[in-house]
């Protein structure tokens, strides 16, 4: 015979909705009780609803104030950058404009600190010289890919290879130029290499790494205004024209050095540099335009050979040939070279 508890259990098993309906009924009763308490609290404190409305109004006002101030700030920032006289423009607010200018100056200072050299002059100012004297022209050299090539050898480490004729090339330069290293390598690496190439410190007037270059468009750019020398007397020897796209007229761009020892590039470049160091050449940029900035030593040597052939042919003609050749404008042009 089944007890009343057994009958109740069978009822719950037979009718599962009965159990859930009881739970829903209990939840509904609890919610009704909570609503009654809330109504009683509101009746006891009538200012609660007013406080909620006031808070919602304050939040709305804060949003309007924030977006209006941001819009005016951005607009005054636009006026400072693109208008010659922002005070005459509609929407100008002095306090907001001053704040925008201050923020812009702070951002620009931080940006310059991160992307530009720490000092404005890499080389000291030119001293006052007696009349008729002048300092030699300035030659800026790049290291990696131009003078040296570094390979990684498994089990050995980094192996540095010098370009053919590098030592003779460097020994000749101080007699003609003020030689400066400005490479896109790290400063520590640049100084170590410079010490190896110039242990007596008689070749290089300064050695600077990538920290002395301008970081722009994801790469390091060589800005010649930091050299502190007249641009008409500055020559840059590099293998990558993108490192100085603003001053390509000052560049001698040669083929990158890949470690092979069979090139004679530095030997040919040295002849061109000897020509550019002459005092009568006042602007190296104009002279380099004659030969082009990409492998200009090739065209220069071709013109030198053509001049030598012309002179030999003239000498073979005798004295009358020389007199006639002097009247030829091509002969006068070859003499100027």
DSSP characters for 267-280?
HHHHHHHHHHTSTT
What is the reported pLDDT for 32?
A: 79
What is the reported pLDDT for 314?
A: 78
Q: Residue 186 is inside which H or E element, if any? A: none
Checking if the pLDDT of 187 tops 80, the result is yes
Its sign, for the CA torsion 188, 183, 224, 130, is positive
- Measured distance CA(336)–CA(289) in Å, rounded: 16
CATH of region 137-288, choose from 3.40.50.1000, 3.40.50.2300, 3.30.1280.10, 3.40.50.1980: 3.40.50.1000
Three-state SS for 18-65 is HHHHHHHHHHHHHHHHHHHHHHHHHHHCCHHHHHHHHHHHHHHHHHHH
What is the reported pLDDT for 24?
A: 76
Residue 214 pairs in a beta bridge with 221
User: Per-residue pLDDT tens for 31-88?
Assistant: 878 777 766 665 656 565 666 777 788 888 999 999 999 999 999 999 999 998 998 8
Confidence class of residue 152 from pLDDT cuts 50, 70 and 90? confident
Quote the DSSP letter at residue 208.
E
Confidence class of residue 12 from pLDDT cuts 50, 70 and 90? very low
């Amino acid at each position: 015979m089944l007890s009343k508890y057994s009958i109740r259990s069978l009822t719950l098993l037979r009718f599962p909705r009965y159990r859930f309906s009881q739970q829903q009924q209990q939840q509904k009763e609890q919610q009704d009780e909570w609503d009654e308490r809330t109504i009683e609290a509101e009746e006891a404190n009538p200012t609660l609803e007013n406080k909620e409305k006031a808070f919602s109004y304050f939040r709305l006002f804060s949003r309007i104030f924030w977006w209006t101030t941001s819009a005016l700030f951005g607009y005054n920032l636009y006026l400072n950058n693109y208008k010659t006289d922002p005070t005459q423009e509609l929407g100008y607010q002095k306090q907001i404009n001053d704040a925008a200018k201050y923020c812009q100056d702070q951002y620009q200072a931080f940006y310059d600190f991160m992307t530009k050299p720490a000092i404005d002059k890499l080389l000291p100012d030119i001293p006052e010289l007696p009349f008729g004297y002048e300092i030699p022209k300035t030659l800026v050299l790049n290291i990696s890919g131009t003078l040296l090539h570094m390979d990684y050898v498994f089990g050995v480490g980094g192996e540095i290879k010098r370009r053919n004729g590098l030592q003779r090339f460097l020994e000749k330069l101080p007699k003609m130029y003020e030689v400066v290293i400005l490479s896109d390598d790290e400063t520590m690496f640049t100084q170590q290499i410079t010490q190896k190439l110039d242990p007596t410190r008689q070749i290089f007037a300064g050695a600077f790494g990538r920290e002395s270059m301008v970081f722009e468009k994801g790469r390091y750019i060589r800005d010649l205004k930091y050299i502190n020398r007249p641009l008409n007397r500055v020559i840059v020897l590099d293998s990558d024209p993108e490192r100085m796209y603003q001053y390509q007229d000052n560049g001698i761009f040669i083929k990158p050095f890949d470690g092979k020892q069979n090139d004679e590039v530095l030997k040919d470049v040295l002849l061109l540099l000897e020509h550019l160091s002459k005092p009568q050449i006042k602007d190296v940029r104009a002279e380099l335009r004659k030969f082009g900035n990409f492998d200009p030593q090739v065209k220069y040597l071709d013109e030198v050979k053509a001049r030598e052939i012309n002179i030999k042919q003239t000498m073979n003609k005798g004295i009358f040939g020389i007199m006639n050749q002097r009247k030829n404008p091509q002969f006068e042009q070859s003499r100027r070279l």
